[in-house]
Structure 1
Amino acid sequence: MPVNRLFFSAGEVSGDIHAARLIKALKERLPQGEVVGLGGRFMALEGMELIDGDVSLFSTVGLTDSLRFYERKKKSYERATAYLNSHPVDGVVLVDNQGFNIPLARFCYEKGIPCVYYMPPHVSIWGRWNAPKLMEWCKHLFVSFPEDAKVYREYGNHVDYYGHPLAEEIRLFLAQSGHPEQKTVMIGLFPGSRYQEIENLLSEMLLAVKNMPQEWRVCLALSHPDYEQMIREQVVNHGLTKRVEFSYDARAVLFQSTVVVASSGTITLEAALFRKPVILGYRISPLSYLIGHLLLKEKLIGMPNILLHQKLFPELLQKDWNHRNILKWIEFFLSLSDEEKKRYDEAYDALWRLLLVEGGHDKLASHILSVFGLWDESSPSM
């Protein structure tokens, strides 16, 4: 008999946010259901019991960079498996965070615990070897890029694409917000949701700010309260306390921005869906960069660029991430010709066509519950 308990495993801040929205949709359909597992503050706000505190801060990118939180992640993995060994659950929902969740998928498979993977690895871009084993270990996969579904389906049919959740959410936000008042240029800064990103990227952002016209507004989006002090310290050290505004509302910052400067990640896709030009960058250890460059199918890292199969937005990697290049590209986007603006508008339209599926999030939530035997099409909506 069902125990009405689901176990979630999410890692980075973006995964925490996506998982939280999914938990809300699931609990609307299963109001007596219990949700426990690994995640962060957004999942906790939706009623999930965190068995190991907020783990969203311990995410890294790169093979060598991942050693920083190895012991902490090992502890989380041990807590997760111990919980699953001692508590009955109807199913496990894995969200992104592949370095952690792929081993957990195998554990669930070996223990006979049904699991689904929401936002599994982007095998159309790199790591194709993950596709056959995840299709074996998981009862169902729910991808966020349409081309990933094509790769996974080479190994089975239990994979679906219901659009990217950002598209539905941003469409609703824009419908409620109208049009921004662009009285002056505003530069939105998004230094990242990982310690390594803030440490490696923020300083060059701030050096760029020091060279911007005084009439421009600059607003920096904070992704987590634990990062605020280290960010404010850098702003103080650069003498920019009166120059840089702060906000925890990332979408409000995107909405008001003229140009976005961001760490490569989900935020770059959000910026493009807001129809805002984005200058994206990343720095990791040289060895991690070399390995990653060799493994990438397309030599692109920005989500909107990958989806469009072209370097529409600049990717400033390693030494190319510097304040001079940031300023150069800001000036480029501020001086687009009408023909160039048309090209970008067409690209934004293409992204919306790719990522928006009507009612996709509701379909996703119902499908996940049906995989675990907790929902069927005749069930009344809550």
Structure 2
Amino acid sequence: MKYYIIAGEASGDLHGSNLMKALKEADSAAEFRFWGGDLMLAESENIRKHYKDMAFMGFVEVVVNLRKIFNNLSDCKNDLLANRPDALILVDFPGFNLKMAEFAKRNGIKVFYYISPKVWAWNQKRVLKIKKVVDHMLCILPFEVSFYDKWGMNVDYVGNPLLDAISTYPYNPHFRTDNQLDSKPIVALLPGSRKQEIERLLPEMVKMQTLFPEKQFVIAGAPTFASDYYEQFKKGIQIPVVFGKTYDLLKNAEAAIVASGTATLETALLDVPQIVVYKGNPLSIAIAKVLVKIRFISLVNLISDKPVVKELIQEDCNEKNLQAELNNILNNADYRQKMLQDYDELDQLMGSPGASERTAKLIVGYLSEK
């Protein structure tokens, strides 16, 4: 069968690539065309556009880039019709993908949504539109099943694909030596994959190196940027950058400072105590505060439904607060142990690996029923 997959950011590229592997197992005749990144490109060379030309975060950023977004939508619609797949598989990225779902449904193409839009966070009435334009919703967060049920929509819970990625990752036992890292304890810095995130968060993160000289701070570089790009944020501070080795970095880390997003959950599942940080355009944040109706911004706290990790947002994300919280994680044994115990509870909520395989089997099964 022919599968058209749209993933618009780094996390979607990861999950999309694992799903492609599983679809090859479930359907030996699987053919792909996709919007995604390097990981998906490793599974199929039939890429239409890289996610680095698609991802814009924040209300203001979206408005500024509206022309590019509309051009991408037009291009995607034309390409979808030109290739007419058996299934359109949308991976997260709701601003773009819900519009594509509506278009595909109107043109008789079966729509599968893998990794639900966060409709539970704001404007919950979007579920009514989703019910009309999505044939099958495949959820990865436990609480989403009951949420959709309240709106009269049946969905499939497949588990979380991060468990697949973490359990199958080929960890490098020589990570430190291969990357010229010494024996000092490592603190991982994960400033995100978007330009806006990195520019706002990394300058605050790197300050910690001078405050904790006994530790070794290492930046997880985004695949869409070269090493030179990160130099402007270091201000002369010697901090190495590693690319494509985030799981290895976390596996070797004593603590981490992480941009809000999928990486916060990955960090928790790898048992690394962390601080979650976020800084956005002030206007975007002001709008979000009015619209978003959730207690937390990190997936760790959302799934646990309690403050497992500290969230430093906007003006709270500053040198003083980062230093205090990092000191707690590194030097307060009780504080650190409590976070790790909460991680154990999170593990129980998340379930077992196999989300990609379960999702692939459901998609192939549903298509076989037509």
CA distance in 1, matches of 2:274, 2:336: 14
Which consecutive unaligned segments of at least 5 residues does structure 2 have? Answer: 177-181
> What is the aligned-residue RMSD (CA, Å)?
2.5
CA distance in 1, matches of 2:233, 2:184: 25
What amino acid is the match of 1:233?
A: Q
Higher mean displacement: 136-145 or 32-41: 32-41
Quickly say closer, same or farther: Cα 1:207–1:346, change in 2 above 3 A: closer
Quickly say closer, same or farther: Cα 1:374–1:258, change in 2 above 3 A: farther
Give 1:138 shift.
0.9
CA distance in 2, matches of 1:175, 1:345: 21
Quickly say closer, same or farther: Cα 1:48–1:368, change in 2 above 3 A: farther
Do 1:6 and 1:34's aligned partners in 2 also have CA atoms closer than 8 Å? yes
Give 1:78 shift.
0.9
What amino acid is the match of 1:360?
A: A
Q: 4+ runs of 1 displaced by more than 4 Å?
A: 172-177
What amino acid is the match of 2:351?
A: L
TM-score calculated relative to the size of structure 2: 0.91
SS in 1 for 2:187: strand
Percent identical residues: 28
TM-score calculated relative to the size of structure 1: 0.88
Higher mean displacement: 246-255 or 121-130: 121-130
Give 1:309 shift.
1.5
1:162 aligns with 2:158: yes
Do 1:37 and 1:48's aligned partners in 2 also have CA atoms closer than 8 Å? no
Give 1:224 shift.
1.1
Q: Deviations over 1:108-151 (max 9, x none)?
A: 12112111000121233333122121122111001111111212
SS in 2 for 1:226: coil
SS in 1 for 2:65: helix
CA distance in 1, matches of 2:313, 2:99: 30
* Residue of 131, 139, 152 corresponding to 2:127: 131
Higher mean displacement: 256-265 or 39-48: 39-48
Give 1:101 shift.
0.5
Aligned length: 365
Q: Deviations over 1:267-307 (max 9, x none)?
A: 11111111111111111122211221222222310110111
Matches within 5 A, 1:113-152: 113-152=109-148
What amino acid is the match of 2:227?
A: E
CA distance in 2, matches of 1:41, 1:169: 15
For 2:17, the equivalent position in structure 1 comes to 20
Quickly say closer, same or farther: Cα 1:172–1:34, change in 2 above 3 A: closer
What amino acid is the match of 1:269?
A: L
Do 1:191 and 1:262's aligned partners in 2 also have CA atoms closer than 8 Å? yes
Do 2:161 and 2:353's aligned partners in 1 also have CA atoms closer than 8 Å? no
SS in 2 for 1:348: helix
Do 2:10 and 2:37's aligned partners in 1 also have CA atoms closer than 8 Å? yes
Give 1:344 shift.
2.0
CA distance in 2, matches of 1:175, 1:355: 22
For 2:227, the equivalent position in structure 1 comes to 228
Do 2:227 and 2:241's aligned partners in 1 also have CA atoms closer than 8 Å? no
SS in 2 for 1:112: coil
CA distance in 2, matches of 1:335, 1:116: 47
Quickly say closer, same or farther: Cα 1:175–1:282, change in 2 above 3 A: closer
CA distance in 2, matches of 1:277, 1:208: 16
CA distance in 2, matches of 1:176, 1:131: 43
CA distance in 2, matches of 1:358, 1:314: 27
For 1:219, the equivalent position in structure 2 comes to 218
* Residue of 319, 323, 328 corresponding to 1:323: 319
Give 1:258 shift.
0.7
For 1:37, the equivalent position in structure 2 comes to 34
Matches within 5 A, 1:74-85: 74-85=70-81
CA distance in 2, matches of 1:228, 1:264: 22
1:95 aligns with 2:94: no
CA distance in 2, matches of 1:279, 1:68: 30
Give 1:266 shift.
0.6
Q: Deviations over 1:217-276 (max 9, x none)?
A: 1111112143533213323xx1123x4343420000110111101111111111111111
For 1:369, the equivalent position in structure 2 comes to 364
CA distance in 1, matches of 2:244, 2:40: 17
CA distance in 2, matches of 1:57, 1:322: 30
CA distance in 2, matches of 1:77, 1:175: 38
For 2:179, the equivalent position in structure 1 comes to none
* Residue of 292, 295, 299 corresponding to 1:299: 295
Quickly say closer, same or farther: Cα 1:342–1:333, change in 2 above 3 A: closer
CA distance in 2, matches of 1:164, 1:329: 29
